[in-house]
């Protein structure tokens, strides 16, 4: 590991000032950054530990009905917060499906949003990767592509964003709070992660020195609490990233869908949401035809980036399954295997079995 300077600022302003130094990076839970440092993918000159900054570890219900979550709230603590899990059950289920219990206890909200792709070529310093070294090429294009992108990719990058948490957040229209040298700003989560294009491999839209301080779920997000599910298809039930994941949320009026929210994970460099797919469901009953049409609309334009055409078929099927489950209603108890397509035994919500 390369030598680096370690700083523990006492205030947000002090942290942002320190981040002006070339090669500086923020450290929150460290569950992604430290791994990348150990394998030589990231070599920061200065590490700024923000884990003990005051005021970043709160979960707050705001006066307008929105919920604010600080950037240093741990994944496990957020998923197990009874009020949060009751109002945003698909978000809690997504959190509990990620990583292992030990990592969820350490990982932070802000770090989850900012985590790097798990593409094996990005994580290999000896492979060409435009994200790691702009202009070097993309070794994945001629490599192992089974779990790579099928939507929104380019020859610059075919990696996917790995977060479970971000998928229901995208569906619910979360707003990310950002602070940096230029002051503070609000950023819709749909604008946090850039897709690759003909000249850029994509990545996050944060400017140098900016950091996430929290996020807000708008007041209307809780209206989907009664019909909300998150499903995650993965190669093993625990401690694995999604091949495809789906957040499906409905606001029902009788037996008719008044409003729908849909987002996909594991298929693109950002959580994938399209208003056209949600519009297909609005005003319809949650039958096979409407649900199949929504799946087709959400996957419109999908194309393999290599040996991964199966992901398109899997995604369409998982969208339909998630929508049927959402229409049946949010479970009264959290599944013992959160987000698993194989779950069968319930556990009390907020106290899921760790497997």
* All domains in the chain, ordered by first residue: 226-328 (3.30.390.50)
Q: What is d(CA 50, CA 18) in angstroms, rounded to the nearest whole number?
A: 11
The confidence score (pLDDT) of residue 209 equals 96
The confidence score (pLDDT) of residue 79 equals 97
Q: What is d(CA 323, CA 228) in angstroms, rounded to the nearest whole number?
A: 9
% of the chain surpassing 90 pLDDT: 94
User: Helix or strand or coil: residue 233?
Assistant: strand
Assign 158 a pLDDT band (cuts: 50, 70, 90). very high
Evaluate whether 320 touches 289 at the Cβ level (below 8 Å): no
Looking at per-residue confidence, does 350 or 53 come out higher? 53
Q: Is the pLDDT of residue 256 over 70?
A: yes
Q: Is the pLDDT of residue 354 over 50?
A: no
The confidence score (pLDDT) of residue 349 equals 43
The confidence score (pLDDT) of residue 238 equals 82
Bridge-based pairing state of the strands 211-217 and 175-180:
antiparallel
The confidence score (pLDDT) of residue 344 equals 55
The pTM of this model reads 0.95
Looking at per-residue confidence, does 176 or 337 come out higher? 176
Q: What is d(CA 133, CA 129) in angstroms, rounded to the nearest whole number?
A: 6
The confidence score (pLDDT) of residue 246 equals 98
Evaluate whether 207 touches 246 at the Cβ level (below 8 Å): no
Average pLDDT of span 84-103: 96
148 Cβ contact partners less than 8 Å away, ≥ 6 residues apart: 119, 140, 158, 159, 160, 305, 306, 308
């Amino acid at each position: 590991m390369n030598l680096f300077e370690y700083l523990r600022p006492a205030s947000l302003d002090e942290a942002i000032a320190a981040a002006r130094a070339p090669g500086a990076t923020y450290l929150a839970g460290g569950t992604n950054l430290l791994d990348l440092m150990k394998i030589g993918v990231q070599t920061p000159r200065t590490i700024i530990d923000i884990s003990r900054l005051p005021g970043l570890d709160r979960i707050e219900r705001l006066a307008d009905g929105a919920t604010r979550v600080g950037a240093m709230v741990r994944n496990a603590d957020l998923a197990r917060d009874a009020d949060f899990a009751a109002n945003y059950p698909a978000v809690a289920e997504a959190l509990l499906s990620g990583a292992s219990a030990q990592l969820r206890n350490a990982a932070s909200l802000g770090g989850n949003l900012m985590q790097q792709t798990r593409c094996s070529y990005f994580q290999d310093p000896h492979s060409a990767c435009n994200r790691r070294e702009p202009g070097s090429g993309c070794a994945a294009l001629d490599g192992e592509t089974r779990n790579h992108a099928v939507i929104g990719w380019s020859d610059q990058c075919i990696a996917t964003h790995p977060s479970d948490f971000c998928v229901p957040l995208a569906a619910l229209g979360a707003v990310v709070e950002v602070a940096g040298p230029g002051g503070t700003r609000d950023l819709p989560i749909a604008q946090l992660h850039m897709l690759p294009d003909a000249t850029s491999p994509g990545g996050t839209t944060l400017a140098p020195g900016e950091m996430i301080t929290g996020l807000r779920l708008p007041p209307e997000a809780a209206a989907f609490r009664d019909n909300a599910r998150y499903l995650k298809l993965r190669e093993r039930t625990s401690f694995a990233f999604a091949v495809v994941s789906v957040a499906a949320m409905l606001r029902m009026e009788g037996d008719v869908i008044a409003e729908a929210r849909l987002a996909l994970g594991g298929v693109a460099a950002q959580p994938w949401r399209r208003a056209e797919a949600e519009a297909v469901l609005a005003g319809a009953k949650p039958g096979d035809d409407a649900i199949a049409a929504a799946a087709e609309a959400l996957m419109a334009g999908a194309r393999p980036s290599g040996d991964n055409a199966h992901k398109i078929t899997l995604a369409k099927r998982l969208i339909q399954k998630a929508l049927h489950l959402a229409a049946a209603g949010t479970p009264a108890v959290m599944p013992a295997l959160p987000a698993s397509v194989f779950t069968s035994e319930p556990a009390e919500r907020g106290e899921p079995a760790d497997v």
